[in-house]
Amino acid sequence: MGERTYINGSYKNILVSETENAGCLNTILIRINRPDAMNALNIELMGEIASVLTAADKDDKAGCSVITGSDKAFAAGADIKEMADANSAEIYEREMFASWDVIRKVKKPVIAAVSGYALGGGCELAMLCDMIAASESAKFGQPEVNLGVIPGAGGTQRLTRAVGKARAMEIILTGRMVSAYEMFEAGLLTKVSPDDKYLDDAMSLAKAICGKPTLAVQLAKESVLKAFDTTIESGIEFERKNFYFLFSTEDKKEGMKAFVEKRKPEWKQR
């Protein structure tokens, strides 16, 4: 990729930076930056995130992205002011979830680093990521029922797949906030860290991924996600084709040769 202007670019709702990982690919950090609105998500903000992640996918120097907010709020929900006066036809015509669909198809891993409130759309954005690292004080929830609506960016689907029908029903139908530890025990979170370490731990996780062979990481992510939308038979067939394909890569040769020679591999396909 020639131009890398998406890093430190001019964005209205997010801040974008890059961390160089010695001997590895770099980590792209996206920080939601709407402090006056508790980082509420609007269409413009989601478009900016989608644009950055799309650019990172094409960037040979980028290996993984981390999305975070502030210590007080990852994202306290969708921007209600943007939706309050809309009718059914208007909300449909806005295509407000178009950017969400773009993010869903990103090839490189994306980690959510969550502290404070991750409610409604904020919870859905965290679940849209591939992993969630949270602080001890993080609060999750889908309180849309309190507004007379339901989750619309995947909350009913992703939460159910992560924590099971019974718990998802209770969380969504009551609209209650759920602690980080309860969500961790339910299987939604990758890890829970002290409030002053959650972002560092998320960045460390990203660095570990950035040190792995790019194509193998992308096909592993693709294969895991396939488990959510197909049968076990089709999923295994999909996984196996990706497994076979990787045997034609330079990194497979290097990885296995390094293992036999008891040395650290030098990945080639970045």
| DSSP one-letter code for 41 | B
Active-site residue (options: 121, 122, 154, 211): 121
Compute CA distances 92 → 97, 122, 147, 153, 231, whole Å.
9, 20, 18, 13, 31
| DSSP one-letter code for 260 | H
SS3 content of the chain, % helix, strand, coil (to 5): 45, 15, 35
Residue 28, phi then psi, degrees to nearest 5: -100, 125
| CB of 133 closer than 8 Å to CB of 188 | no
| CB of 140 closer than 8 Å to CB of 118 | yes
Active-site residue (options: 62, 78, 168, 216): 78
Distance CA 128, CA 119 (A): 13
Active-site residue (options: 50, 55, 116, 124): 124
> Is 124 marked active-site?
yes
CA angle centred on 26, ends 132 and 6, rounded to 5°? 90
> Is 48 marked active-site?
no
Going 239 to 209 to 113 to 19, the CA torsion angle's sign is negative
Distance CA 94, CA 112 (A): 26
> Is 3 marked active-site?
no
Q: Which residue, among 34, 218, 190, has the nearest Cα to 108 in the 3D structure?
A: 218
Active-site residue (options: 75, 112, 144, 180): 144
> Is 78 marked active-site?
yes
| CB of 247 closer than 8 Å to CB of 239 | no
Report the catalytic residues: 78, 121, 124, 144
